């Protein structure tokens, strides 16, 4: 696939597949939106290229499919957390296999990736979905409804969720209960056990006088991100269920329990961010009071700018996430559409590269990118899963 201006392999009258692209951490990636993909003739493409466009860095196009219905590149979508790992594997894969094109890796969130992945079978649909959480049963059902019936799951490592400030900001030592009280839309009334009220806390010291007397301002991932799902489960629910009556609510009315425990405040003290983490760092540099939710891998690559808060008595590190003592960590996955194994050139080889010792092993190149490696037994199981490609069971 090549940017316009270098449209090799695209000829007059040919139907091509195009999408907008943006740069992400020095990689070229696709940012899917509802209107990101077009089917058009070469002549229509030339018209679009010659027409003034805004907010588009480039157009990437490729022939929709070869005559036999196959595709000569691998299409990967999904998690922004997994993106740097998958992009690195894609580069290494192409170096090791120069006969194959570099896979196209797209960063559009776990939920958005599954939506595209489950859209159907065929060269216009992705081959792999990266995820910072497990696929949900409803997502697997959506796949099946669109004839994507054989999906394999491969776990390849771990990542932590960190709460960070810019360097020079006050130090924070927080509990998950305090985080829940800081960002939840409704919280238990401290004066009336068993009653919920609109979140009254404006400063961290309102929650715990030992915390900094600083305004609460948190930037966090938008709902379409797997990191948001993990934050909701590992932080919000964990803090919420420290109230016995809210924990009991789960067995009585799970829907209400989810709303109470995971809805974030809407008064401006929590801000959803769906763009790159770099944008959040920019916000922190202009607001010394702000905290932000990052992945550990991103924090590890930006220690010159960011400082992690202590959570439940532990600072995130390779060791504390690896041994489970840091409480906000989760596994990372990628999902393979088995119907595409003989459709997307090099797909099996890419999978093999990803699960190789040199990539995801304890001293692998993905660890240099911030990946927390699997334990030896888990790694052996992952390689077996990558070889067998058994259908996922949720």
For 117, the domain range is 2-158+332-388
pLDDT for position 68: 52
For 181-206, write each residue's pLDDT tens digit.
999 999 999 988 789 999 999 999 99
C-beta of residue 327 within 8 angstroms of C-beta of residue 174: no
Looking at the fold, whether 104 and 189 belong to one and the same domain comes out as no
Looking at the fold, whether 119 and 220 belong to one and the same domain comes out as no
Looking at the fold, whether 189 and 318 belong to one and the same domain comes out as yes
The residue that leads in pLDDT, 337 or 274, is 337
Looking at the fold, whether 250 and 262 belong to one and the same domain comes out as yes
Looking at the fold, whether 287 and 346 belong to one and the same domain comes out as no
Non-local CB neighbours of 104 within 8 Å, separated by 6+ positions: 1, 30, 60, 73, 74, 75, 76
- The encoded tokens of residue 390 equal 């058994």
pLDDT for position 69: 62
pLDDT band with cut points at 50, 70 and 90 for residue 244: very high
User: Is 121 within the bounds of a domain?
Assistant: yes
pLDDT for position 193: 77
Alpha-carbon distances of 358 from 6, 40, 154, rounded to whole Å: 34, 41, 17
For range 328-343, the mean pLDDT: 96
pLDDT band with cut points at 50, 70 and 90 for residue 34: very low
Taking the CA atoms of residue 243, residue 295, residue 282 and residue 20 in that order, the dihedral angle to the nearest 10 degrees is -120
Q: What value does the mean pLDDT of the chain take?
A: 84
Q: How many domains are there within the chain?
A: 2
pLDDT for position 275: 58
How big is the chain by its Cα radius of gyration, in Å? Answer: 22
- Which CATH number fits the domain that encloses residue 119? 3.40.190.10
pLDDT for position 63: 44
For 58-97, write each residue's pLDDT tens digit.
344 444 445 456 899 999 999 989 999 999 999 999 999 9
The residue that leads in pLDDT, 182 or 20, is 182
Looking at the fold, whether 177 and 79 belong to one and the same domain comes out as no
pLDDT for position 349: 97
Share of the chain above pLDDT 90, in %: 68
User: Is 49 within the bounds of a domain?
Assistant: yes
The residue that leads in pLDDT, 61 or 123, is 123
pLDDT for position 112: 92
Phi then psi for 263, rounded to 5 degrees?
-70, 130
For range 234-245, the mean pLDDT: 95
User: Is 393 within the bounds of a domain?
Assistant: no
Which of 60-64, 167-171, 276-280, 303-307 is least confident?
A: 60-64
Question: pTM of this prediction?
Answer: 0.76
Residue ending a domain, choose from 309, 330, 351: 330
The residue that leads in pLDDT, 224 or 106, is 106
pLDDT for position 36: 34
For range 376-392, the mean pLDDT: 96
For the purposes of burial, counting CB atoms within 10 Å of the CB of 195, is it exposed (0-12), middle (13-18) or buried (19 or more)? Answer: exposed
User: Is 394 within the bounds of a domain?
Assistant: no
């Amino acid at each position: 696939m090549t940017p316009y201006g270098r449209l090799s392999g695209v000829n007059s009258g040919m139907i091509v597949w195009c999408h907008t692209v943006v740069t992400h951490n020095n990689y070229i990636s696709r940012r899917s939106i509802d209107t990101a993909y077009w089917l058009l003739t070469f002549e229509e493409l030339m018209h679009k290229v010659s027409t003034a466009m805004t907010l588009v860095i480039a157009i990437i196009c490729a022939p929709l499919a070869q005559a036999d219905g196959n595709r000569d590149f691998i299409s990967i979508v999904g998690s922004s957390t997994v993106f740097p790992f998958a992009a690195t594997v894609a580069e290494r894969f192409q170096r090791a296999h120069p006969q194959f094109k570099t896979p196209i890796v797209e960063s559009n969130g776990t939920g958005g990736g599954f939506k595209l992945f489950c859209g159907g079978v065929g060269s216009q649909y992705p081959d792999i979905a990266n995820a910072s959480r497990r696929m949900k049963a409803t997502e697997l059902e959506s796949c099946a409804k669109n004839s994507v019936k054989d999906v394999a799951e491969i776990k390849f490592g771990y990542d932590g969720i960190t709460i960070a400030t810019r360097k020079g900001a006050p130090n924070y030592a927080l509990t998950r209960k305090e985080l829940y009280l800081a960002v939840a839309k409704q919280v238990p009334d401290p004066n009336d056990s068993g009653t919920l009220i609109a979140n009254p806390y404006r400063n961290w010291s309102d929650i715990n006088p030992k915390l900094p007397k600083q305004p609460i301002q948190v930037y966090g991932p938008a709902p379409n991100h797997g990191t948001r799902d993990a934050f909701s489960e590992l932080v919000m629910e964990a803090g919420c269920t420290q109230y016995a009556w809210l924990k009991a609510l789960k067995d009585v009315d799970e829907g209400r329990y989810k709303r109470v425990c995971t809805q974030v405040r809407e008064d401006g003290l929590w801000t959803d961010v769906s763009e790159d983490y770099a944008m959040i760092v920019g916000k922190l540099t202009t607001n010394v009071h702000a905290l932000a939710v990052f992945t550990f891998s991103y924090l590890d690559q930006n220690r010159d700018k960011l400082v992690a808060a202590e959570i439940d008595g532990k600072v995130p590190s390779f060791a504390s996430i690896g041994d489970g003592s840091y409480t906000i960590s989760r596994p990372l996955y990628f999902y393979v559409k088995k119907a595409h194994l003989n459709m997307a050139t090099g797909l099996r080889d890419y999978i093999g590269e990803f699960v190789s010792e040199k990539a995801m092993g304890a001293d692998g190149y993905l660890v240099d990118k911030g990946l927390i490696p699997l334990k030896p037994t888990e790694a052996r199981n992952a390689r077996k899963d990558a070889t067998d490609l058994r259908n996922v069971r949720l």
